[in-house]
Amino acid sequence: MTPTELDQISYRFFKLFAQYEYALKAMGYGRAGRLKAAEVDWDRFANEIGIALIRSQDHAVVEARTYLLDHPPKRQVWINNSVDWAVVPSVDRSAQSLFGHLRRVRNNLYHGGKFNGRWIDPDRSEELITRSLALLQHLVRDNQDLREAIHGNAG
């Protein structure tokens, strides 16, 4: 995948993730966070709807899910006055863990962890973003309420 293609797929992932954030709040998967900020209740969503990704036997879903659970995204850390990457050890294979990995892929993109004018570890970034996008897309196709909320028919 070229850097331009990786830019395009990351944009598609980021856009769909943003649509998820809107849709989940519209579907009632929200809560008050710090200072009453509106947040998505990702754990409740994962347990009630996202669990379909854990239960699915669809080949593409199994492949994407297995990759993310076996090779979770790293977390940016601050060590010795500079940014570094830390492996986040996890043996948890729950829907909550899977959605935690999806959120970290989003966070790494949003907070500039994967791109500083050029892609950092582009092959791994491609794997994480492509597989994360596939999981989010599958769930939208598979769940009518989520699909309707994303397309503005809820709330």
20-63, pLDDT tens digit by residue? Answer: 999 999 999 999 989 999 999 999 999 999 999 999 999 999 99
pTM: predicted TM-score of the whole model, two decimal places: 0.89
Give the span between the Cα atoms of 94 and 47, in whole angstroms: 9
User: Does residue 15 carry a pLDDT above 50?
Assistant: yes
36: left (phi over 0), alpha (psi -120 to 50) or beta: left
Helix (H) or strand (E) holding 76: strand 75-79
C-alpha distances (whole Å) from 55 to each of 37, 120, 126, 149 are 32, 33, 25, 22
Q: What is the pLDDT of residue 118?
A: 61
Give the span between the Cα atoms of 89 and 85, in whole angstroms: 13
User: Does residue 4 carry a pLDDT above 70?
Assistant: yes
Name the H helices within the chain. 3-26, 42-45, 51-55, 59-70, 95-110, 122-142, 144-150
Query: What is the bridge-based pairing of β-strands 38-40 and 75-79?
Result: unpaired
Q: Are 142 and 52 in contact (CB under 8 A)?
A: yes
